[in-house]
Chain A
Amino acid sequence: MVEIDAQGIHYRDLNQRVRRLIGQGKREFNLINVNGQRYIGDGLASSVRMEINGTPGNDLAAFASGVEITVHGNVQDGVANTLNDGKLIVHGHAGDILGYGMRGGQVYIKGKVGYRVGIHMKGYREQEPVIIIGGTAGDFLGEYMAGGKIILLGLNRIRDEALVGNHLAVGMHGGVIYLRGEVEPNKLGREVRPEKLGQDDWDDLERLLADYCREFDFSLKEIISADFWKLIPVSSRPYGKIYAY
């Protein structure tokens, strides 16, 4: 494993150094003292593993395909933008626009996430992007979602803290959102309906959460002992008619 001290290093130098080392055959990195450096892990297609200590800057792991990143800290905005494949594990919170247009891979967040998470997510056959959120989520979760899975757990909430913000799944027309708990109907977009889980859902949920719980040392049993709801789109092609004629 190559250790890189990122203290005071500009993002361009840091990312170039990582790419140079990958070119030399290095595959495992431990970045320490990271603070605010943008674009870390972006576009990396090889099977690179990276530990990040600190607060990486915006657009972490964007356009990546296969890289596995663990962050010991919070992540900022625009993380996992258009992620194609790979795994991102965050031992902290995430900011806004996490997993925008994501089309493969797994994003595991231990804490809360901000606004506009998982918007425009899409999936196709074996491409199944997954975002699992341990805490709560802000407004516009899963807006215009077209595929993939979002699981929102809402663990460790204080007092009357809401599971999720407003405008949930507005314009959603594919994929599924699993919610650990109920959500007020007025928060929902018109394009989705809440349903109870079937056996297939439970199997799926257990499979996805088993891996998540392993990463964060959570009790799977405890997490799935609660009541879950799922959101699915009412129509699969809401705009088909608009553009076809």
Chain B
Amino acid sequence: MSRRVGEKDISGCAISGIFNRKGLRFSGEAIIKSIALMRERSNGLGGGFAAYGIYPQHSDAYACHIFYDHLKAREDVEHFFNKHFCITLAEEIPTRKLKAIGRPPLIWRYFIQADRQRLERSNLTEDEYVVQCVMRINAQYKGAFIASCGKNMGVFKGVAYPEEIGEFFRLEDYQAYLWTAHGRFPTNTPGWWGGAHPFTLLDWSIVHNGEISSYGANKRFLEMYGYQCSLMTDTEVITYLFDLLVRKKKLPMNLVVKALAAPLWSEIEQMEEKEAGQFKAIRAIYGSALLNGPFSIILGHRNGFLALNDRIKLRPLVVAEEQDVIYVASEESAIREVCPQPARLYFPRGGEAVIGELEGRSQ
């Protein structure tokens, strides 16, 4: 993908998420309405959505959403795919012609599974095999960018306001049990199609408002485990940290949260000895995974979502519940736009994770 440099500007960013914990699926119209209400938080240099449950007919295959700058890039990636994967289906992702979307890339999706022989020889799990292939393409294949590669999920993003991106990708035609959305106001990094949120790996996706001041430390830590941070954005490291700590290190989500948004030392001092010991250990072992700086994020995954603020809550986050649906957004009005009178509405504290899980499933 070509890296386009946008203006540096003061920041806003908007995030929103809607999740049905019973797994019932609904179209993308509500999430578009919700994120569109916060238009003033974005500046048209990035918008995107993650949708979970959209490809039930291909749920065993990894769904790869790919942007190409030119046909040559497509040929190169397809050549690589043919070698490493078995492709069930390859097709262009349907889009609408829109004035607001200037010169979109070629946008394709592939449903793929690892080539059995190569997978066996690699001695890797299939997830890890996919991760390594995706990292290789994003870092080395000029003009190609894999936007998402999870099972039964997909990311739709680009350079425009989020509601325009939603219209462009015809999100009203998709049914998902979890939708997350982002309106971008790029501050430190360029606005380009790959640089729009969500950022993904396998079925992890992150939408993020804020900035990660600890990016350098996090990046070096992740590189030790083979992750390549090639997207020119701080948000990327959050996605990889969840992948590392949950998928590879098998830490439970509540501890991962305490590594990424660790309690301040002054707070640890106030804890009971046993609890303090646990938190000290986490800070000692995973100190380089600590996310410093202002953020509110929504992590999407196949079993649900997690929403989190930085420890001193430098970015907004509101949560509401109505029957089986949980709403999360940067602003209360973005929730009320699609759910006027929720049964419960609350404001999580800094560092307090909000976890939504599909009934009967846990990470």
Q: Which chain A residues have a beta carbon within 8 Å of chain B's beta carbons?
A: 11, 35-36, 38, 54-55, 57-58, 74, 76-77, 93, 95-96, 112, 114-115, 138-140, 165-167, 186
Contact = CB atoms under 8 A, between A and B. Distances in A.
A42 to B, nearest CB: 14
Contacts, number: 56
B164 interface: no
Contacts of A55: 332-333, 336
A138 B309 CA distance: 14
Given A35-B336, A36-B333, A55-B332, A115 B313 contact: yes
Interface string B20-53: 0000000000000000011010000000000000
A139 B313 contact: yes
Nearest to A35: B333
Given A36-B333, A55-B336, A57-B333, 11 more contacts: A55-B332, A55-B333, A74-B345, A76-B316, A77-B331, A95-B318, A95-B332, A115-B350, A138-B350, A139-B350, A166-B267
A47 B274 CA distance: 58
Contacts of B332: 55, 74, 76, 95
B331 A76 contact: yes
B347 interface: yes
A95 B316 contact: yes
B337 interface: yes
B270 interface: yes
B312 A139 contact: yes
Contacts of B337: 35-36
Contacts of B347: 93, 95, 112, 114, 138
Nearest to A78: B316
B58 interface: no
25 contacts: A35-B333, A35-B337, A36-B37, A36-B38, A36-B331, A36-B334, A36-B337, A38-B40, A54-B336, A55-B332, A55-B333, A57-B331, A57-B333, A58-B331, A76-B316, A76-B332, A77-B331, A95-B316, A95-B332, A112-B347, A138-B349, A139-B349, A140-B312, A166-B266, A186-B266
Most chain A CB neighbours (cut-off 10 Å) among B37, B38, B332: B332
A172 to B, nearest CB: 17
Interface residues on B, range: 20 to 34
Contacts of A58: 331
A76 B14 CA distance: 14
Interface of B: 37-38, 40, 266-267, 270, 312-313, 316, 318, 331-334, 336-337, 345, 347, 349-350
7 smallest beta-carbon distances between A and B, as pairs: A36-B333, A55-B333, A115-B313, A35-B333, A36-B37, A55-B332, A55-B336
A76 to B, nearest CB: 6
Nearest to B270: A186
Most buried by B among A35, A54, A77: A35
B212 to A, nearest CB: 20
Contacts of B37: 35-36
Contacts of A115: 312-313, 350
Contacts of A96: 313, 316
Contacts of B334: 36
A55 B349 CA distance: 21
Nearest to B38: A36
A88 to B, nearest CB: 17
A244 to B, nearest CB: 30
A194 B75 CA distance: 71
A96 B313 CA distance: 9
Contacts of B336: 35-36, 54-55
A114 B266 CA distance: 21
A9 to B, nearest CB: 12
B32 to A, nearest CB: 15
A83 B347 CA distance: 24
Contacts of B270: 186
B13 to A, nearest CB: 13
A98 to B, nearest CB: 12
